Structure 1
Amino acid sequence: MKRTGFIERHNLWTEVQKEASQQIEAVVKERDLLLIRVAWSDQHGIVRSKSLLPQAFFSALENGMQISTGTFLFDTGSALVFNPFVSGSGLEMPEMTGAPNLVAVPDPHTFRIVPWAKRTGSILCDQYFQNGQAMPFSSRGVLRQSLAELHQRGLEHIVGLEVEWYLAKLSDPAIALTDVGTSGKPGQPPKVSAVKRSFQYLLESHNPEIHDLLLILAENLVEMGLPLRSVENEGGVGQFEFTFDPIPGLQAADTMTMFRMATKQICRQQGYIASFMCRPRLNGSSSNGWHLHQSLIHRTTGENAFMSANPSMLMSDLGMHFVGGILKHAHAACVFTTPTINGYKRFRPLSLAPDRAGWGLENRGAMIRLQGSFDDPNTHIENRVGEPAANPYLYIASQLICGLDGIDCQLDPGSPTEEPYATENPALPQSLLEAISYLSQSELFRQKMGQQFINFIIKMKQSEISRFLEAVADQSPDEYSKQVTDWEQREYFELF
């Protein structure tokens, strides 16, 4: 008698996922795939993976894949934050003592052929303990939990991605042993040169300089099944913006994860560096943002729950309360929307990035930009606060948590502003340290994400901040808070 596998035993898949897994096995055999990258997103939104040969992968579709807890113990610079060899690993979690294995369970809905790598596939995973309980530090799990609460209300989260990033020509990968750094001390960033000249926003005449690479990227992303919508030449030297069609929240987070992974790998393969760092230390660079377009729809009818049925209202009451929640909790949510030290250098007045928590109608200076009007089925909000290095699952989950609290408490977002940089709306945090102080005081996030998870994230970020402050000890706060430091370029440029 066949023994029941881990996934079946703990009822971790829907019937649709089970059927999809059988189709995946057929595709692996038909396409003669040799390696399948079984991947997951860590707490920073960075993709980790193991490559399995077909038989091992087929086994993972029944029993999951054994992975170490190690990727959950380090900050962005690979500095050890939690000691696994003390009781509870400093997390008050007996399950983490001794760095035991977790079980990474593939989600069949995320399987893709990797078009830029021969005979290779990829699939994303959720993490569980050996007893089948969900791993509380799984960021994909955090989003799934938030979506489950939303679905119980009969609503679906629809998300459109608008992502800015930098492309540079690789001159020197800086991989000499003297350059690569050590744990907690990232080495020299790669040396790069510009791919085009000047700061000309949407300049058509520059397209020949970068068309071939952008075509390769577009071809690969479309072949992967990602809903790419547009490719734009932004204002910075080598800055681009890719947008994607609106899709459900979990699919959007998976898409962002795969998009960053694919873009970085394809560009590197072609002799370039793609960086999703918010404000890289490159001459002539402006900040990268990740604008999150979002709305709610009724699951039974498909109607837009943000659309106003009242000619005198810009948006429905539900939509207004959703915005009210996002604005009320914006400061604590910054740890998830803007999780790097570098990202706070984007919050500047008159910069097309917000510097305070407010909203406006079709206003790109406001944190929340409302697009749509009475009886417009495309009515939605655009949150402009995020950076492209953010963990997609935590960014999107934070929006749901804040927005639903706004609905429950019937929060009023106040009046829209026409002068977003001159209003009395509360200023956004000026540093990651300030954002952490708001998160540590947030009862809402502790309730919705769990005390363990919030403590975990705060300690992760405190480690990052401590290393940064040590590195800039010889500078004044006025210097390192305004200028992009060498530490930031080492820490984030190649990683994100």
Structure 2
Amino acid sequence: MAEGFIARHQLWTAEQTEAAERLLHLDLRQVRIAWCDQHGILRGKTLESSHFATVLKQGKDFQTATLIFDTTNNPVVPPFSYAALGDPRMTGLPDGVLVPDPLTFRMLPWLDGTGWILSEMHYRTGERVPFDTRGVLADQLGRLSAEGYEYVSGAELEFYLTRMEDPMLGFEDSGYPPAPPRVTAVGHGFQYLTESRGDEIEPILSILRDNLVQLGLPLATVEDEWGPGQTEFTFDPLPGLATADAVVLARTAIKQLARRNGYHATFMARPALPNAFSSGWHLHQSLRSDESENVFAGGELLSETGLHFMGGLLKHALACSVLTTPTINGYKRYRPDSFAPDRIAWAEENRGALIRVTGGRGDANTHLENRVGDPAANPYLYLASQVAAGRDGLAQKLDPGPSADEPYAADAESLPATLSDAIGHFETSDLLRKEFGDPFVDYLTMIKKHEVARFNAAVTDWEQREYFEVY
């Protein structure tokens, strides 16, 4: 514990301080303090209510070792080496301090007397750990605010619900990574937005819906998608950090609630299930002025601000791919005529384009929809990539070029075919190094190269089928 941490370093705003005071008067049994790691997965500790009061004032000690884990919880670098992270403060993997954000506090509807609060990771000196992804987005939003704008975004998340047959909990199944659960379909597919198909899985959908609403998340719709058990949840737009917070909480809640009720939910982009279509994460976004006006609206289609922002998204789409699509599996979405983009193009009201301009001409709600996202993406990094790229578009007054009426036939640069290709664009991006800093870019590059190396070293089912008999 860092004695007097908050009081000494003044890390909260007045609004956060007032919210923290209110939390001290709640009747709580326990509180989960959660931190979103580099992969977009929540880690944390469960606190007794009396200890939570202390943590609000002083922060909570937390292992920086979690920063060097891949998605299987294997260290990417030797545990007591800091050189690869480029930050001497990481020597010996000391404890960091989780600083809770009182404005994110919620009660968990499915656990009696249990609160849930998000946090950011700091060093004991009060400095934010540069690899803390919520802090990365907060920094971008601060820069955008200094330029006179507020970022507004809304999420559409697709995922699969399956019925759990065997969770595969044997000791022999607990490797790196553990064996995936054995599942079966919960309903039929291939009747997009069909009421009866959606009703087949209404029991679990109602559980998810009711709990997300009780959490205070801005759920807008629950929709039947194409694949068997494939579902889309859409959320109303929110300002600043709120959409990323909502996504990370929603994904975690969905997975926990599904598991508790005999189901398995996956946000894997292209699961290896028969007759499964890819899932995506469509991000709707706009900017507001100090007067709370949508500054993308105006002009014949978009305002100059909207056009320049879109120009930045397109120019830096390759560099941002590691942040919008961080998994090896996610790049298998990018196929022609698949409702997922395969090249860097924009169009008006066209779901085949990378950037879709949506809203009627002259509509005050006109905004941009980026259809590139992997539903497993770290939400803070996905949004941060959009803000950084869009801000550059504004600064450079970038022209997005002509629209692509047929996006899959457009003469436009292709999106990366693999995570390895995307890493090359990410680590050489002057913009992202300027905006996020060399330590963060080098750090995430190291994490992702390790993931690619593990994949390349693994013998796949395809190789076994292709070569085992014929040679």
Question: TM over 0.5: same fold?
Answer: yes
Of 367, 379, 383, which aligns to 2:354? Answer: 367
2:391 is the alignment partner of 1:400 = no
8 Å CA contact 2:156, 2:235 repeated in 1: yes
Provide the C-alpha distance between the structure 1 equivalents of 2:218 and 2:20, rounded to a whole number of angstroms.
22
User: 1:199-238, CA deviations, whole angstroms, 9 ceiling, x for partnerless residues?
Assistant: 2111211233211211111111111100000000100111
Which residue, out of 109, 133, 143, partners 2:137? Answer: 143
**Structure 1 partner of 2:21:** 22
Matched, 1:158 2:152: yes
Residue 475 of structure 1 and its aligned partner are, at CA, apart by 5.3
The answer to whether the 8 A contact 1:115-1:220 is kept is yes
Unaligned 5+ runs, structure 2 = none
User: Measured at CA, do residues 474 and 175 of structure 1 come closer, stay the same or move farther in structure 2, by a change above 3 Å?
Assistant: closer
User: Equivalent residue for 1:218?
Assistant: 209
Matched, 1:180 2:171: no
SS of 1:421's equivalent?
A: helix
Give how far 1:92 is off. 2.5
Q: Which amino acid aligns with 2:9?
A: H
Q: Which moved more, 1:77-86 or 1:419-428?
A: 77-86
What residue identity is the alignment partner of 1:302?
S
Write out aligned runs for 1:45-124 (5 A): 45-86=40-81, 88-124=82-118
1:84 touches 1:96 (CA, 8 Å); kept in 2?
Answer: no
Greater shift in the superposed pair: 90-99 or 237-246: 90-99
Shift of 1:478: 13
Amino acid at match of 2:99: V
Query: What are the equivalent positions in structure 2 for 1:435-446 lying under 5 Å apart?
Result: 435-446=422-433
Aligned AA (2:252): M
SS class of match (2:265): strand
SS of 2:409's partner is: coil
CA shift for structure 1 position 373: 4.2
Deviations 1:23-60 (A, max 9, x none): 11112x2xxx2210001000000000100001111101
Match of 1:463 in 2: 450
User: How many angstroms apart in 1 are the aligned matches of 2:39 and 2:461?
Assistant: 28
Matched residues in 1 for 2:251 and 2:466: separation?
31
The match for 1:201 is 192
Deviation at 1:474, TM superposition (A): 8.5
Q: How far apart are the structure 2 equivalents of 1:307 and 1:191?
A: 48
**Number of equivalent positions:** 466
Counterpart-to-counterpart distance in 2, 1:78 and 1:463: 12
The ranges of structure 1 where at least 4 consecutive aligned residues each deviate by more than 4 angstroms after the TM superposition are: 473-480
Superposition TM-score, scaled by structure 2 size: 0.96
Question: 1:374 offset after TM fit, Å?
Answer: 3.9
1:82–1:89 CA contact under 8 A, matched in 2? no
Q: 1:210-359 residue pairs with structure 2 within 5 A?
A: 210-299=201-290, 301-308=291-298, 310=299, 313-359=300-346
- Return the offset for 1:249: 2.8
Contact 1:89 1:98 in 2 (8 A): no
RMSD of aligned Cα (Å): 1.7
Structure 2 residue aligned with 1:34 = 29
Q: Which moved more, 1:218-227 or 1:196-205?
A: 196-205
Residue 417 of structure 2 is aligned to residue 430 of structure 1: yes
Provide structure 1 residue ranges, at least 5 long, that are not aligned to the other structure: 481-496
For normalisation by structure 1, the TM-score amounts to: 0.92
What do residues 285-308 of structure 1 show as CA deviations (whole Å, max 9, x unaligned)? 100000000000102x11111011
Quote the sequence identity (%): 49
SS at 1:254's partner residue?
Answer: helix
The question of whether the paired residues in 1 share the 8 Å contact of 2:346 and 2:404 is answered with yes
* Aligned residue among 446, 450, 453 for 2:437: 450
Cα deviations by residue, 1:43-91 (Å, 9 ceiling, x for unpaired): 00000010000111110100000001011011112221122423x3422
Equivalent position amino acid for 1:72 in 2: L
Contact 1:84 1:90 in 2 (8 A): no
Q: Partner amino acid for 2:68? A: L
Q: Distance in 1 between matches of 2:370 and 2:330?
A: 15
Map Cα deviations across residues 355-392 of structure 1 (whole Å, 9 max, x no partner).
00010000000000001244311010000000110000
CA distance in 2, matches of 1:333, 1:90: 22
Distance in structure 1 (CA, Å) of the matches to 2:326 and 2:154 = 20
For 2:391 and 2:464, locate their aligned partners in 1 and report how far apart those are by CA, in whole Å.
37
The yes-or-no answer on 1:416 pairing with 2:410 is no
Name the SS for the 1:51 alignment partner.
strand
Give secondary structure in 2 for the equivalent of 1:163.
Answer: strand
AA of the residue aligned to 2:69: F
Q: Look up the equivalent residue of 1:424 and give its one-letter code.
A: D
1:416 Cα offset (Å): 0.8
CA contact (8 A) 2:108 2:114 kept: yes
Residues in 2 aligned to 1:268 and 1:387: alpha-carbon distance in whole angstroms: 22
